[in-house]
Amino acid sequence: MTLDNTIAAGRELIVVEIAAQRFAIDIMTVREIRGWTASTRLPHAPGHVLGMINLRGQVLPVIDFAARLGLSTSEPNAASVVIVAEIGDRLVGLLVDAVCDILTLQAGMLQATPEVGSPAVRTFVRGVITTEDAIVTLLALDAVIPEDEILAAA
């Protein structure tokens, strides 16, 4: 696994809340964080694609992150936040319930993903970070949103 190499100590992570769970995203993949605005729906799009939004003249797809992760979905509200992530060369909007923190990864904080007998979990999850009050799942964003799938969705 090459993932452990790319995530080193001192790296900063954005901690978001989805369906009352906390997930961490590498801050270097995040381009911008903005409030929820209404999206324009796309015909024949997959269920987790909410639609598209206009970001300073550039059109980018918005994905219901909870649906994509297989968690229970929630209706977007005024407190919802769209994280504009750069996956490959593409920009993708990820809908999350809230942004909780910016976490600086210390040595030894990151632990291996527990074995549950499902290869998909290992593909999606890079590792688990324990904090004082919760367990934060570090997501492999490029695995969660594959490039070709984004293209297909776009």
Q: Interface with other proteins by CB under 8 A: which residues?
A: 12, 14, 27-28, 30-35, 78-79, 81, 99, 102
> Which residue lies nearer to other proteins by CB, 71 or 81?
81
> Which residue lies nearer to other proteins by CB, 36 or 124?
36
Detail the DSSP E strand segments found in the chain: 12-18, 21-26, 30-35, 49-55, 58-64, 81-87, 90-96, 98-104, 110-111, 125-130, 135-139
d(CA 154, CA 141): 17
Q: From the CB of 13, what's the least distance to other proteins, in Å?
A: 10
Q: From the CB of 12, what's the least distance to other proteins, in Å?
A: 5
Q: From the CB of 149, what's the least distance to other proteins, in Å?
A: 24
> Which residue lies nearer to other proteins by CB, 14 or 110?
14
Q: From the CB of 58, what's the least distance to other proteins, in Å?
A: 16
Query: Burial level of 9, CB count in 10 A (0-12/13-18/19+)?
Result: exposed
Place of tokens 């939004």: 53
d(CA 24, CA 92): 16
> Which residue lies nearer to other proteins by CB, 66 or 84?
84
